[in-house]
Amino acid sequence: MDKIVIEGGRPLEGEIRISGAKNSALPIIAATLLCPGTHIIHNVPELRDIRTMLKLMETLGVSWERREANTLVINSDAVTEFEASYDLVKTMRASVLVLGPLLSRLGRARVSLPGGCAIGARPIDFHMQGFQKLGAQLELEQGYVDARVSGKLRGGTIYFDIPSVTATENILMAAVLAEGATIIKNAAREPEIANLIDMLTRMGAKIEGRNRDKLTIHGVKSLEPCETVVIPDRIETGTYLVAVGAAGGDVTLTNCRPAHLPSMFEKLRNCGLFLEEGKDSIRVIRSGPLKNVDVKTMPYPGFPTDLQAQLMTLMTLTDGLSVIHENIFENRFMHVAELKRMGADIMVDGGRAIVKGHGKLNGAPVMATDLRASASLVIAGLAAMGTTEISRVYHLDRGYDDLVGKLSGVGAKIRREKE
């Protein structure tokens, strides 16, 4: 197993190119199951989760190749299998995204229940209730959801208690070929969903309500493959913005979409960072001390839960008190114990963390526990005095394309070593 070693305390200077969004690429790859043909996807990041998704697609009968660095060519002529096994789903919950397209194309999908994960229980009941509303019969047996429909799925009205990102995507993919219209109320509005809607529309789907919480999908008879581009990763963008905030310096992020991070920008400016937004770039400068802010994670356009851990690290470096409410997942403070090993003063009380900033962190050996928690430890290592060693870095490989290369490129002293 590899570890990451960081010698902290060096400001970052230069340029970082942002990769395509993991959370967009995953549903877009799943959507290629909807119709036979050759699909072309640009700006696909090089990540472990993408490789897991492609492995799953292969088991369903799909073939693929990477053309140039970031273009994926997928052929889905021969989709014959309908089962996503526990071995794959347990390593990546987003595997459940094949349920909707398989049910739509083959009338059958058998997908292992993902179970809990490091950040909470994370059920898929919204997905299942949605498929039932579209006429599917669902059975739970031996840890698998077995969904079938005789004939075609039928349109229906679905209301989510909480706006769920992957449930919205799964129902969208199931509904595009259903008979009649489907309405999703309280749909999630994350930019990754708009990216999927754009792809489905290019394939011939009829969807109204892009970027709104009510989506209407008019089922069509058939779809055609298309060429699509994955949007830049807003969570990777936010992570590097915080990294510059923590370590200090002057960095320009390129190939990103500043418009996708409204709440993050507001918070970072209140922290005292200078941000200059271009159309597809953003310059971040930290020259003075950091100010404390309070944060509540919310569905988009609110503050993303996927940036909560990173922002918490930044708050440990202020000289004030900040209160961080985690409203999306019940167990997303795994990074707290590790940050405490680096000298942070944080108290957790249910879904709330109270951070007492002391202006500095000290390097220490720490352990990555989940994807975004790992990113918060890298940021802590960049800001800390001395050496930080982060073990179990396979979590970072799931979601950060060339993290060590990108940070080394802006002057960080960071390397990967065998443990």
Instruction: Give the catalytic positions in this structure.
Output: 117
Q: Of 124 and 244, which has the nearer Cβ to ligand UD1? A: 124
Q: Which residue stretch of 125-133, 241-249, 285-293, 335-343 sits at the interface with ligand UD1 (rule: CB under 6 A)?
A: 125-133
- Would you count residue 166 as binding ligand UD1 (CB under 6 A)? yes
User: Tokens 């909480």 label which residue?
Assistant: 162
DSSP 297: B
Please tell me the total number of residues recorded for the chain in this structure. 419
DSSP secondary-structure letter at 230? P
Please tell me the count of residues contacting ligand UD1 according to CB under 6 A: 19
Beta carbon nearer to ligand UD1, 126 or 131: 126
Establish if 125 lies at the interface with ligand UD1 (CB under 6 A): yes
Q: Is 84 in the site for ligand UD1 (CB under 6 A)?
A: no
In 182-260, alpha helices (H): 191-202, 234-247
Contact between 126 and ligand UD1 per CB under 6 A: yes
Instruction: Give yes or no for residue 162 binding ligand UD1 (CB under 6 A).
Output: yes
305 in contact with ligand UD1 (CB under 6 A): yes
We find the least distance from the C-beta atom of residue 119 to ligand UD1, in angstroms, to be 8
When asked if residue 173 is in the footprint of ligand UD1 (CB under 6 A), the reply is no
Shortest distance in whole angstroms from residue 196 CB to ligand UD1: 10
The minimum distance between CB 100 and ligand UD1, in angstroms, equals 13
CB of 274 to ligand UD1, least distance (A): 28
Binding mask 48-77 for ligand UD1 (x = CB under 6 A): ------------------------------
> What are residue 16's DSSP bridge partners?
253
Sole binder of ligand UD1 in the list 12, 18, 25, 26 (CB under 6 A): 26
Strands in 12-17's sheet, in edge-to-edge order, are 12-17, 249-254, 281-286, 274-277
3 or 329: CB nearest ligand UD1: 329
Is residue 123 a contact residue for ligand UD1 (CB under 6 A)? yes
Residue labelled with tokens 């310059």: 283
Q: Which two tokens stand for residue 153?
A: 């799925």
Query: Does 329 interact with ligand UD1 (rule: CB under 6 A)?
Result: yes
**What span, in angstroms and rounded, lies between the C-alpha atoms of 417 and 392?**
11
Task: Choose the stretch contacting ligand UD1; rule: CB under 6 A; options: 57-65, 78-86, 121-129, 210-218.
Answer: 121-129
Alpha carbon 23 to its chain's center:
4
CB of 327 to ligand UD1, least distance (A): 8
Query: Considering the rule CB under 6 A, would residue 236 count as an interface residue with ligand UD1?
Result: no
**Residue type (1 letter), 25:** A
Residue 166 or 322 with smaller CB distance to ligand UD1: 166
The C-alpha atoms of residue 136 and residue 155 are separated, in whole angstroms, by 11
d(CA 157, CA 101): 18
Binding string, residues 188-227; x marks residues near ligand UD1 by CB under 6 A? x---------------------------------------
Establish if 234 lies at the interface with ligand UD1 (CB under 6 A): no
Beta strands in 230-337 (DSSP E): 249-254, 274-277, 281-286, 295-296, 321-325
Q: Let me know: does 363 contact 8? Beta carbons within 8 Å.
A: yes
Rounded distance, CA 303 to CA 235, Å?
11
CB-count exposure of residue 142 (10 Å: 0-12, 13-18, 19+): exposed
Of 297, 350, 352, the C-alpha closest to 323 is 352
259 binds ligand UD1 (CB under 6 A): no
Q: How far apart are CA 388 and CA 382, in angstroms?
A: 8
Give residues in contact with ligand UD1 (CB under 6 A). 23, 26, 94, 122-127, 162, 164-167, 188, 305-306, 328-329
